[in-house]
A and B are shown apart, each in its own frame.
Chain A
């Protein structure tokens, strides 16, 4: 019996507006409200609402046998609240079925795990609190931003009380080993790892509508025959993808919704061979076959499966180090206004826009990028960050003066 583990990532960044040098010191609204609203409402219309409705229907039809997992970033939830509250309601409905697991992650879809344990812990705590508030759940499984993982990061996650974590089934880490088993973290072996089967995941997420692909068109029956066949050996098949795959990256006219509608029945009809489980259920069901050594940081992005999409050039490194240099001040200030900006400035997308590696994965990069060039993205981000630092310093000084007076 092979377990199929479906996991969807839901994320929207707060996009910054064009913020010029002349705005600095005068204008502290950094967000492009119109763009954020229109993107959110478009994605809600094309993906979140129809897909949530479909999943809800599938869960009801299959009476608890169809199960899947989500992680939703804090910045996405903030934008649901602001621009599309009905999406948030439909996620709550999914949560209420008991067939959907919500995973912990960083609140802002941030790179905090690469900054320090302290920053990372704070981001995770924020996200856990959000899950509790919105969905009434406490997560036991974790997925880091863009599946960024290393032995150290896994150990940090374990120390925060999580039992399971997701990672990429990267070839350079696995070697001859198969991603279709449960593994354990090399430092803390209590932490179980589920590794993404990137081939089968990308068949849906990237190749589904590619008419040049020799397997096009992909039907649910054909796909399930691959899952069930001996060519996919192992115990657990991890299909991890962006939720926006459905209706957004693969638009409705590609037939992606019909594919998803047919998939659960096709899988469940192979009774005794295939079953569904959420992330934590799948990890509990199977014993780890080995520890996974991953001394260097990896992710699910690009051909290289590393973090150079976010921290690969001097622009990104400079922005990253200037940002995290502010954390003591933000912490000392304890102001919700500053915490809010601090949170959305950490979102990894800002750094992704500054990438200059446009070789094999240029298409994917430019698809997500609202800027003309990495340099434009850098200038704009640094202008916003500079103004944030100015205001932060002023507020810290004012607080210090007040405290001195009180004495």
Chain B
């Protein structure tokens, strides 16, 4: 079985959980005998006039520097296509417009985002003037890719709204069935203030698809109730976690205090302010705890001011945006990991924490809560319950030990192979359905 997959980030150049999930998923699929052609946007800038770049998996691995021993057999089953585009992960149409305006005004091509993400984006005149135009342009190129690859794939799989038009276009050109994957809905990103254009694309993608895969039952419900997709066409496929073979020696601890960590984008969706309020409550009772907020985002300055005002800045630390080895190091230094997300379709980071033997506290409003037993679950808004849970894990070693050992066992059993097998069955269903003569 061969699948044409549209994604928008891939490790290690990732800004969030989607790239990590795609990586685990494609490897799992390869293990299940599925060949994947992975299409991602990649900004080549003005110098390069080609629209697409076909890369061998080995080239990509070299580019991304993520080769691991024993992965060769899997890589043989994958190939990569870069579509020249400046679509970037987690960008909103408004942000895109700002960057483009700046480009037109100043001709400046390389832009760091305004917040402390410190990521650089390349802009070029040959790209669309706004994100919606760019999404449409991307779809046109995707249609060409689908045509060029005619006969080389059986099913199309698109991840999140930026690539839905591409998925639809590929389906029209090739007549192959389309599966779309909901990692995060517009409701998760923006609360009730949804961007209607984004909503419309999400809706169009899901209605055009033969199946919608949701990363949790939570997301599946949103898809059914808010987007009106018939329930029988929506399947939940929970994410899993990849086990790194050698996790490396634990870094030497500098401080003796217990460390409670928040790691993620500091945005409304992730509930950073609840973490701060709970920290202040805990610090009133136990002095020897430190809180770390790792990450960056549009709420970072607000959170820093709040920490200062609460008078806990000597025990509440900020690391800025972490990547690669530093993320791993942060997990290893932690005694408790907290994910107080207001809305989290899945939430892969608690699994990574558990893999490092760290007990986790997650909000009941996260998809990952559906697959974990050995995690403390609280309502995101219940600061007292969150403070209680932190206090318990910090003060009672037996409790922390139970959560970390049982948690490790639990997370070890969440394998991408199993998730991929489920995805493969969905592929098989839609292929079978598409080959049956239509009844309506």
Contacts and interface: CB of A to CB of B under 8 A. Distances in A.
Given A314-B305, A375-B301, A22 B254 contact: yes
Nearest to B303: A375
A301 B26 CA distance: 60
Contact of A383 (B252, B300, B317, B333): B317
Interface in A292-334: 313-315, 317-319, 321-322
Interface in B179-193: none
A22 B308 CA distance: 21
A139 B292 CA distance: 47
Contacts of A43: none
B304 interface: yes
B255 A25 contact: yes
Contact of A382 (B256, B314, B329): B314
A378 B304 CA distance: 9
A386 B290 CA distance: 10
A24 B290 CA distance: 12
A383 B319 CA distance: 10
A25 B311 contact: no
Contact of B309 (A318, A319, A322, A389): A318
Most buried by A among B254, B292, B314, B318: B314
Interface string A372-406: 01010011001101100110000000000000000
20 contacts: A21-B317, A22-B333, A24-B254, A25-B254, A25-B255, A26-B252, A313-B305, A314-B308, A315-B308, A318-B308, A318-B311, A319-B308, A321-B311, A322-B313, A375-B304, A379-B317, A379-B320, A382-B317, A385-B314, A390-B255
A23 B319 CA distance: 11
Contact of A386 (B301, B309, B311, B315): B315
B253 interface: yes
A102 to B, nearest CB: 37
A270 interface: no
Task: Enumerate the 10 nearest inter-chain pairs by beta-carbon distance, A residue then B residue, closest first.
Answer: A25-B254, A318-B308, A25-B255, A314-B308, A26-B254, A314-B309, A21-B317, A315-B308, A21-B319, A379-B318
Contacts of A375: 300-301, 304
Interface in B254-302: 254-256, 292, 300-301
A379 B304 contact: yes
Contact of A23 (B254, B301, B320): B254
Contact of A389 (B251, B256, B314): B314
Contacts of A385: 314
A357 interface: no
A319 B309 CA distance: 10
Contacts, number: 62
Contacts of A21: 292, 317-319
A20 interface: yes
Contacts of A317: 308
A315 B255 contact: no
A23 B333 CA distance: 12
B313 A318 contact: yes
Given A319-B308, A383-B317, 9 more contacts: A21-B292, A22-B251, A22-B333, A25-B256, A26-B254, A314-B308, A315-B305, A317-B308, A318-B311
A321 B333 CA distance: 29
A330 B128 CA distance: 61
B187 to A, nearest CB: 30
Contact of B317 (A314, A315, A386): A386
A319 B313 contact: yes
Q: Is the interface of B mostly helix, strand, loop or mixed?
A: mixed
A375 B251 CA distance: 27
Contacts of B292: 21
A173 to B, nearest CB: 31
Interface in B300-356: 300-301, 304-305, 307-309, 311, 313-315, 317-320, 326, 329, 333
Nearest to B317: A21
A168 to B, nearest CB: 28
Nearest to B318: A379
Nearest to A382: B313
Contacts of A23: 254
Interface string B93-135: 0000000000000000000000000000000000000000000
A386 B254 contact: no
A22 B314 contact: no
Nearest to B254: A25
Interface in A110-154: none
B48 to A, nearest CB: 32
A386 B304 contact: no
A320 to B, nearest CB: 10
A389 B317 CA distance: 14
Interface string B225-258: 0000000000000000000000000011111100
A26 B254 CA distance: 5
Contacts of A379: 304, 317-318, 320
B163 to A, nearest CB: 34
A322 B308 CA distance: 10
A322 B315 CA distance: 11
A319 B318 CA distance: 15
Contacts of A318: 307-309, 311, 313
A378 B308 contact: yes
Nearest to B305: A314
Contacts of B252: 26
A23 B326 CA distance: 12
A244 to B, nearest CB: 31
Nearest to A318: B308
Given A319-B313, A321-B311, A375-B300, A22 B305 contact: no
A383 B313 CA distance: 9
